[in-house]
Each structure stands twice: as C-alpha cells, then as structure tokens.
Amino acid sequence: MIKILLLIVIGFTVWAVIRAYQRSLDKPSAPARENTVEDMVKCAHCGVNLPRSEAIYSSGDFFCTPEHKQLGKK
C-alpha cells in the first residue's frame, strides 16, 4: 500500500516539474534566474515598462496585462 502512495507522490512531483517547465517555455528565452538585474520590456499597447517576468508575451510583443494583450499592438 505504501508503495502505491509513494508512486502517486513521485508521479505528482514529476507532473508538477513538467508543468513548471512547460510554463517557462511559454515565455521567450526565460533567462537563467541568476540575473539579478531584470530586463525591462515595454507594453506594446500602452508603452509602460515592466519586468520581463511580469510581462505577457504574445507573438513577438510584450503586454502589461491580459487586457492589453487582447487589445493588441497600438
């Protein structure tokens, strides 16, 4: 019984790691986190500057919010 529980725990861990990895692939070249100074990117809609990790990337442009991503490039 313990073995089954262990398998479930391991399976879940692997799944969580894969999910995290796939999420990191969504962002453009998510640089190794050792970079202390973060890249600033400009929202393609309103032009506000924000850290790349907080920006939403979509087909070559960055956006500050999902709303602006929907509104698209200005």
Which of 41, 45, 55, 56 is in the footprint of Zn ion by CB under 5 A? Answer: 45
Is residue 69 a contact point for Zn ion (CB under 5 A)?
A: no
Kindly tell me which of 19 and 73 has the beta carbon lying closer to Zn ion: 73
Three-state SS at 62: strand
State whether the Cα torsion 44-45-47-52 is positive or negative. Answer: negative
Is residue 43 a contact point for Zn ion (CB under 5 A)?
A: yes
Count of alpha carbons within 13 Å of 73, Cβ hemisphere only?
7
Is residue 40 a contact point for Zn ion (CB under 5 A)?
A: no
Q: Which residues are near Zn ion by CB under 5 A?
A: 43, 45-46, 64, 68
